[in-house]
Chains A and B, each alone.
Chain A
Amino acid sequence: MGQDELYQEAAATYGAALDRLARAYEADPDKRRDLGQEIHLALWRSFAGWNGQCSLRTWIYRVAHNAATSHVIRQRRAKAHNLVSLEELEHLPDRSVDGSAADTRHALERLLGLIQSLKTLDRQVILSYLEGMDAASIGEITGLSQGNVATKIHRIKNILTRRFQEGGRHGE
């Protein structure tokens, strides 16, 4: 398959996932639209060098995460200190307890807020986890060992369980 065909297949299969990824990296709607287009452009350009060295999915997510990381470094370098790691988040109290976590829209907003508050590497792991990837695939994309990914996923599950169940109880 050529560059154009690969891009078309990627856009058709992963278009929605790429939009969710852009959403997780950029809160501002206009900048998010720009980031989405930037990711698609980066993807199309990257396929010029594609020769099957990894799976198509790994390739697509690497390009998307790396383009988004570049965007974050450019846009938010000054705010980088406000981001937290999964380890820190696990011990931070949940301050967004208004409303029920069971309310779909509210839960999604809180989830997005949580993802956007994470440091880049942890954001990549939680996003990949939410997209349904296993530890091996996440490791291949991020460069972390499977053991590290497993530890992070364990933390993610704890955080999500604690935060969203607690939030639900607040809304009762």
Chain B
Amino acid sequence: MENELPPEKLKNLWQNQSVEPVQMSLEEIRRRAERFQRKIRYRNLREDLASVLVFAFFGYFIWRFPQWRVAHGLILAGTAYMLYQLHTKGAAKTVPESLALGTCLEFHRQELERQRDLLRNVWKWYLLPFVPGLLAVVAVTLLHVPAEKWIRALPIILLWAAFFCGVWKLNQRGANKLQGQIDELDSWNRESL
């Protein structure tokens, strides 16, 4: 064999390598398609159950501690909103059936864009919904303790603030990385017009 492999020979080498093509009968394909749908249904069911548990938990607190009703009600509303957003825009989105309708460039961009928006808007759907409830918790707590002890609540408030900032920053970093990839695809797209 010659000691050089020019592109044409590499093409032959690539095309003639030994392969193990997927062997699935139509029955197996249908079974897998059904299993796939079932998986999606179970995932949705799990999310619904989680919502029910959260509602039951806070519902109990609302009923049991009337003075905390507003605070717990707001946290409950925030959780419901967050779960709804996760349910509709969740990262575990299924692969669409219309995979071939767009080019690879368009599809790749859409996927990156979807994930970028999810990360970039994390403050809107994951952090902000909890702020009114948490502020109400702080307010109710402060109303029930003498003013001279208010300083004790500061570490908790700072911890929450740090957690919120950390989550936001991490997600912004992720979104920026994805934006870099989108920009790169866009530069090819512009050149292709």
- B-binding residues in A (CB < 8 A): 4, 7-8, 11, 15-16, 18-20, 23, 36-42, 44-46, 48-50, 53-54, 58-60, 62-63, 65-67, 69-70, 73, 77, 80-81, 85, 100-102, 104, 107-108, 111, 119-121, 124, 129-132, 139-145, 147-148, 156-157, 160-161, 164-165, 168-169, 171-172
Contact = CB atoms under 8 A, between A and B. Distances in A.
Contacts of A120: 104, 108
A164 B21 contact: no
A124 B99 contact: no
Number of chain B interface residues as a range: 35 or more
Interface in B139-193: 177, 181, 184-185, 188-189, 191-193
Given A40-B29, A111-B14, A63 B21 contact: no
Contact of B192 (A45, A77, A145): A145
Contacts of A40: 22, 24, 29
A15 B2 contact: no
Given A7-B26, A18-B21, A73-B111, A132 B15 contact: yes
Given A19-B19, A80-B177, A132-B15, A69 B3 contact: no
Q: Is the interface of B mostly helix, strand, loop or mixed?
A: helix
B10 A130 contact: yes
Contact of B17 (A8, A41, A100, A108): A108
A102 B14 CA distance: 13
A42 B99 contact: yes
Interface in B67-121: 95, 97-108, 111-112, 115
B189 A143 contact: yes
A171 B104 contact: no
Contacts, number: 174
Contacts of B98: 46, 49
Q: Is the interface of A mostly helix, strand, loop or mixed?
A: helix
Contacts of A147: 191-192
A7 B189 CA distance: 31
A140 B177 CA distance: 28
Nearest to A85: B184
B4 to A, nearest CB: 5
A66 B104 contact: yes
A143 B17 contact: no
A89 to B, nearest CB: 15
Given A16-B21, A19-B19, A164 B33 contact: no
Given A111-B10, A143-B192, A81 B24 contact: no
A141 B4 CA distance: 31
B7 A161 contact: yes
B176 to A, nearest CB: 12
Given A4-B26, A40-B29, A102-B1, A46 B99 contact: yes
A130 B11 contact: yes
B4 A148 contact: no
B99 A132 contact: no
B103 A142 contact: yes
Nearest to B35: A41
Contacts of B2: 102
